[in-house]
């Protein structure tokens, strides 16, 4: 079946540094990948999404590139801010289109 792997459970960084959160996936069909962000006590919200191979997708300073050759969709930002502290989920849409398979999430903690 489909699966999404996020290898880091917790990432702690100092404000202003770059970050990369890892996401790899397994599927037998053409993938559609998402990043959702969940701030403390809030609802998860879509950050960005893509199905186009080797094309960079950007939103709110975050960016990711889907690489089908390596089954990866890593999330990056060049300079993290305190407000970026949150839980980040990578997700894969199934071939039916409606069911998302989520990774276990990566908590990003940004220190002053």
Partner 1 sequence: NAGVIQTPRHKVTGKGQEATLWCEPISGHSAVFWYRQTIVQGLEFLTYFRNQAPIDDSGMPKERFSAQMPNQSHSTLKIQSTQPQDSAVYLCASSSSGGAQAETLYFGSGTRLTVL
Q: In this complex, which beta carbon is closest to partner 1, that of residue 42 or of residue 53?
A: 42
59 touching partner 1, by CB under 8 A: no
Among 49, 63, 72, 85, the residue binding partner 1 under the rule CB under 8 A is 49
Query: DSSP code of 7?
Result: -
Identify the residue whose tokens are 């950007």: 58
Choose the stretch contacting partner 1; rule: CB under 8 A; options: 13-21, 61-69, 73-81, 92-100: 92-100
Count Cβ atoms within 10 A of the Cβ of residue 81 and give its class: 0-12 exposed, 13-18 middle, 19 or more buried.
exposed
Least Å distance between CB 104 and partner 1?
A: 4
Which residues of the chain form contacts with partner 1 (CB under 8 A)?
32, 36, 41-46, 49, 51, 89, 91, 93, 95-105
């Amino acid at each position: 079946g489909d699966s999404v792997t996020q290898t880091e459970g917790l990432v702690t960084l100092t404000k202003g540094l770059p970050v990369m959160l890892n996401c790899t996936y397994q599927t037998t069909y053409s993938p559609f990948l998402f990043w959702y962000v969940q701030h403390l006590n809030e609802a998860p919200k879509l950050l960005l999404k893509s199905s186009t191979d080797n094309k960079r997708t950007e939103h709110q300073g975050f960016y990711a590139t889907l690489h089908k050759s390596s089954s990866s969709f890593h999330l990056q930002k060049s300079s993290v801010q305190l407000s970026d502290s949150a839980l980040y989920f990578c997700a894969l849409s199934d071939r039916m289109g409606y069911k998302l398979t989520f990774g276990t999430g990566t908590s990003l903690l940004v220190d002053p």
